[in-house]
């Protein structure tokens, strides 16, 4: 099984740390964030890890050559000219995928204990095009789902909501956990031009009738390291378990 880790961003909220260290190589409890995320994907069945790189890409390349020791092939997708966004990065890397099975797409700054194997099995059983890990969390930016799947997104910080249609049945407002399972057909259906946000492409696909379902992971430990404060929390939690 393939899995892709999104790791090309600048890590702006972690500056000045990320001025000299790319976010995937930030260390937490004796391992890089990249290794933490990759290990969880490997445990869920991934044997090939694709990582997109842009900011300080030479450091990630050197890590791949000299320090990678996990039990999976590591493949880098080089976004040399500019970072392409979550959707653009996936589209650019699409030739690297084997297309023989659903695959994971995982943000590069979340370390969790979500049951990824269970999520993958739920995706295959439902026959969805995309399955998105969501949880109940007091977040300003959320995704909107109804009984048939994804219908919109909501940004309370900026004061806007986008929906593709009226809700059918109960509407739910979920915080996205940054982990996706995608059927390989998605790769052929990305028409947007990079850079673009993958959620925008998902909403278009949902509007066209594709099923994009929520997978509730509320209660599973979820550590996001996007800010110095959250990085400190992740380090304290994981150091205590070493």
Q: pLDDT at position 234, please? A: 95
- In the chain (242 residues long), the average pLDDT of successive 10-residue segments reads 94 89 93 97 98 94 94 96 95 96 97 98 96 93 96 94 94 96 98 96 97 97 94 95 84
Predicted model pTM: 0.95
For the chain, list the domains and their CATH numbers.
2-134+177-216 (3.90.550.10)
In angstroms, rounded to a whole number, what is the distance separating the alpha carbons of residues 126 and 142? 23
To which residue do tokens 């009226």 refer?
166
Q: Residue 160, Cβ neighbours under 10 Å: how many? A: 9
Both ends of the chain: CA-CA distance in Å?
Answer: 29
In angstroms, rounded to a whole number, what is the distance separating the alpha carbons of residues 104 and 38? 11
What are the DSSP calls for the chain, one per residue?
Answer: -EEEEE--S--GGGTTHHHHS-GGG-EETTEEHHHHHHHHHHHTT--EEEEEE-TTHHHHHHHHHHT--SSSEEEEEE--SS--HHHHHHHHHGGG---SS-EEEEETTEEE---HHHHHHHHHHHT-SEEEEEE----SEEEEEETTEEEEEEETTTTEEEESS---S--EEEEEEEEEEE-GGGGGG--SPSS--HHHHHHHHHHTT--EEEEE-TTS-EEE-SSHHHHHHHHHHHHTT-
Q: How far is CA 195 from the centre of its chain?
A: 16
Structure tokens that stand for 202 in this block: 């998902």
In angstroms, rounded to a whole number, what is the distance separating the alpha carbons of residues 53 and 59? 10
To which residue do tokens 């509320």 refer?
218
Pairing between strand 103-107 and 2-6?
Answer: parallel
CA gyration radius, the chain: 17
Pairing between strand 130-135 and 212-216?
Answer: parallel
Q: What is the torsional sign of CA 31, 73, 57, 130?
A: negative
Which of 57, 29, 87, 61 lies closest to 236 in space, CA to CA?
29
């Amino acid at each position: 099984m393939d899995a892709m880790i999104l790791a090309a961003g600048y890590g702006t909220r972690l500056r000045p740390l990320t001025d000299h260290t790319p976010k995937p190589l930030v260390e937490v409890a004796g391992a890089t964030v990249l290794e933490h995320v990759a290990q969880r994907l490997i445990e869920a069945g991934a044997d090939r890890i694709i990582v997109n790189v842009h900011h300080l890409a030479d450091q990630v390349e050197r890590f791949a050559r000299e320090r990678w020791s996990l039990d999976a092939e590591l493949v880098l997708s080089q976004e040399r000219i500019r970072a392409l966004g979550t959707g653009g990065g996936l589209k650019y890397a699409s030739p690297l995928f084997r297309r023989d099975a659903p695959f994971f797409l995982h943000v590069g700054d979340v370390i969790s204990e979500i049951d990824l194997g269970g999520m993958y099995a739920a995706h295959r059983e439902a026959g969805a095009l995309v399955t998105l890990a969501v949880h109940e969390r007091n977040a300003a930016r959320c995704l909107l789902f109804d009984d048939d799947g994804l219908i919109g997104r909501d940004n309370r910080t900026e004061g806007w909501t986008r929906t593709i249609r009226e809700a059918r049945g109960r509407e739910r407002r979920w915080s996205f956990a940054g982990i996706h399972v995608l059927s390989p057909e998605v790769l052929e259906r990305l028409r947007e031009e990079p850079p673009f946000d993958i959620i925008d492409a998902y909403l278009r696909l949902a509007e066209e009738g594709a099923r994009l379902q929520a997978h509730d992971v509320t209660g599973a430990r979820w550590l996001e390291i996007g800010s110095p404060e959250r990085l400190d929390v992740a380090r304290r939690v994981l150091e205590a378990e070493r």
